[in-house]
Amino acid sequence: MTDSPDLPDLPDLTAFEGVLFDLDGVLTPTAEVHMRAWKTMFDELFAAWKIEPAYTDRDYFEYVDGKKRYDGVASLLRSRDVEVPWGDPSDDPSEDTVCGVGNRKNEVFSRILRSEGIAPYPGSVALLDLLQAAGTPIAVVSSSKNAVEVLDAAGIRERFPVVMDGVIAERDNLSSKPAPDVFAEAARLLGVDPARSVAVEDALSGVQSAVAAGYGVVVGVDRGVGADDLRAAGATVVVDDLAAFVD
């Protein structure tokens, strides 16, 4: 059971030094775009390679969801008894390798973002408005290498002076969530003390990362993971939507 917006124990987030947000599932429903990108790419690939049976949403949940991009490609192709060379992450999207196919999906993802955009969660935008009006520093802490592109497509990039993403993490050799590295470094870049700041996450690994980095409050946003699991991972408070902090 998630905490009700009416409960008095929801903290006033404007009272903290900073509030640092995960992106996918917290600010934007990016998972939906990823799912559509996989379907578009695999539909095209299956037609070109004459692979049967056709790709379905069930394939996404069975073979792709939750896996690293290239692992998802290999798993899905293997389900159709298709084996191709692994290749290298630098492979061109046109190459018939696992990495090439994975990079092809990333191109489709970018194409969908450019053509259709993505709308941020209204409750999240309302909270951003409240924090910015109060002068509370905010940042994004995302594992995605597409974070800036997603923020641009959602029309909220300019709100964040600090965007800690997968590109920076790779460049600076920072360990990914659930290690504390990215949340710790983002707080340093924002100029805030984690112990006096708030982290907002919807994933268990993200909650664990923020807890390990010593954040004073860790808000879990339950988009389906489960409130009990978020609390078990260390979330201080759990809500269904960030509008709970505004209403």
Active site residues: 22, 24
The whole-angstrom separation of Cα 22 and Cα 37 is 21
The whole-angstrom separation of Cα 50 and Cα 211 is 48
The phi, psi pair for 61, rounded to 5°, reads -70, -30
The phi, psi pair for 164, rounded to 5°, reads -90, 110
Helix or strand run (H / E) with residue 20: strand 19-21
The whole-angstrom separation of Cα 187 and Cα 200 is 13
The whole-angstrom separation of Cα 191 and Cα 115 is 36
